[in-house]
Amino acid sequence: MITYDRLFIGGSWVEPSEQELLDIASPHDRSVVARAAQAQPADMDRAVAAARKSFDEGEWRLTPPAERIAALRRFNALREENAEKIAHLISLENGSAGWFTRAGQPGLTRQANAYLKAAEEFSWEEELLPSDPASPVRSVVRREAIGVVAAVIPWNSPFSSATSKIIPALVAGNSVVLKVSPENSLSMGFLAELLERVGLPEGVISVLPADRETSQYLISHPDVDKIAFTGSTGAGRRIAAIAGQQLKRVSLELGGKSAAIILPDADIEKAVAGVKFASLLNNGESCIAQTRILAPRGRYEEVVEGLKMLVDSLKVGDPSDPGTFIGPMIRPDQQARVREYIRIGIEEGARLVTGGPQVPEGLEQGNYVTPTVFADVDNSMRVAREEIFGPVLVVIPYDDEDEAVRIANDSEYGLSGGVWSVDEEHALAVARRIRTGTLTINGASVAFDGPFGGFKASGIGREYGAVGLGTYTEYKTITI
């Protein structure tokens, strides 16, 4: 059993203020797979104080960008060397199927490289020519680090969420307190080990697992200058209120209820095969999952039957089994939540095509949910409007393209989405009409050079690439 009995604060492993360790349970069979210390407010005080001191003294902040970039390239190389171990740890603690955690490792490399490339090309300082040639004044515009960043990430994809925040924040010269979920104490403890090997200056980085109350304490801390949060929309609203009251900088990547529009000319077989990954990745515990499937009425039953065959073919079970596509939910309460939504869908009158609230046979010892497809769903139903965060798909019919766009946009969320068509230009025209931060056409993968984030209740601000890097900087103008 792996044990982390110390906390990683300011680049060193130190004794926690609370000695009791948390048992980390396997979602597969609920056995204890690790034990780890958990941060309390006193530990957050130590981490923020270390970050504040390091930032104010300026050793990392004043390091040339090229040297900061080189340090983060060392981190990225270490992570690549340990990709298999990282995938294993996440599957062990999260229940994410092995295919998903392994497939995600090259994506982490691309994600980091996009930030580092952007940093190499970034305008850290530039001189502006006056608009009036006769003006005696010239201006120097700088992009400088914001200060102490509280980066708060969720449990569902810990390394990706951590990478999306600590790399741009550190490359920009900030000091960072990374607050991770208790469930991820195993993988994030290993992340801290990798960061320790990079050799950043004292105080620049802390990695602390902690509960919600301690997380709120960190976010409200007066010495935190920016909050970078990924998580639920409800939590995001509370964080935005705290940030507004204290005038902290804030970026929020929140929930989604994304639509996949299958256009009438689409290759249904290919579209359904694509839904397998766009909608059911990571056991359905993904904010970008396209869980509302919009199908043309003239081909509706073809889509429904295709999805039934797909979902029925997916193996549910032990995440360590190479044949498993869908593993367990992370916790018993998340399992209960998803099963309750399935019951709600039945009560609302949706047609249960496959699946249901029953636990898959033989998997009662874990946090398992039967993958479920609902048809004859109206977009006003709760199962079509609320983020379920599990392997539950709803198929909504539409009569024409305008109605498909209207249904896709009829959501409080706007994080992701997809369009399926044999005509890419037509699909692009439809995509332009959807009010969401990112879309894919015919199952394209995420592009890490472009900005990622949400419209409406799906968040504020953007991550990835040059735009994401810029959110960790402040503008300064010096006139001469």
- At residue 463, the 3 state secondary structure works out as strand
For the record, the structure tokens of 54 come out as 């390091």
Is the pLDDT reported for residue 291 higher than 90? Answer: yes
Torsion angles phi and psi, residue 197, rounded to 5:
-70, -25
Share of the chain above pLDDT 90, in %: 97
The pLDDT value given to residue 403: 98
CA 111 to chain centre: 12
Is the pLDDT reported for residue 447 higher than 90? Answer: no
207-232 per-position pLDDT tens digit: 999 999 999 999 999 999 999 999 99
Is the pLDDT reported for residue 331 higher than 90? Answer: yes
Distance CA 293, CA 417 (A): 10
With a CB cutoff of 8 Å and minimum separation 6, the contacts of 403 are none
108-163 per-position pLDDT tens digit: 999 999 999 999 999 999 998 888 888 888 899 999 999 999 999 999 999 999 99
Of the residues 93, 183, 253, 387, only one is catalytic, namely 253
Of the residues 183, 285, 287, 387, only one is catalytic, namely 287
Domains of the chain: 2-254+457-479 (3.40.605.10), 259-447 (3.40.309.10)
Active site residue 424: no
The pLDDT value given to residue 463: 97
Query: If pLDDT is split at 50, 70 and 90, which confidence band does 4 have?
Result: very high
Torsion angles phi and psi, residue 191, rounded to 5:
-55, -45
Active site residue 463: no
The pLDDT value given to residue 130: 83
Distance CA 228, CA 241 (A): 14
- At residue 276, the 3 state secondary structure works out as helix
Which CA distances in Å does 80 have to 84, 85, 88, 200, 256? Answer: 9, 10, 14, 19, 30
* pTM, entire model: 0.96
Read off the pLDDT of each residue in 305-330 and give the average, rounded to a whole number: 97
Q: Give residue for tokens 């992701």.
A: 416
Distance CA 235, CA 254 (A): 9
Distance CA 342, CA 52 (A): 47
The pLDDT value given to residue 1: 84
27-73 per-position pLDDT tens digit: 999 999 999 999 999 999 999 999 999 999 999 999 999 999 999 99
Is the pLDDT reported for residue 330 higher than 90? Answer: yes
Is the pLDDT reported for residue 383 higher than 90? Answer: yes
Q: Which of 299, 275, 297, 367 is nearest to 328 (CA)?
A: 367
The pLDDT value given to residue 472: 98
Tallying the residues shown for the chain, one arrives at 480
197-206 per-position pLDDT tens digit: 999 999 999 9
- Which string of DSSP letters, residue by residue, matches 27-45? TTT--EEEEE----HHHHH
Torsion angles phi and psi, residue 385, rounded to 5:
-110, -30
The pLDDT value given to residue 136: 86
For the record, the structure tokens of 31 come out as 């056995």
Distance CA 168, CA 69 (A): 10
Read off the pLDDT of each residue in 404-430 and give the average, rounded to a whole number: 98
Which residues share a beta bridge with 253? 230, 459
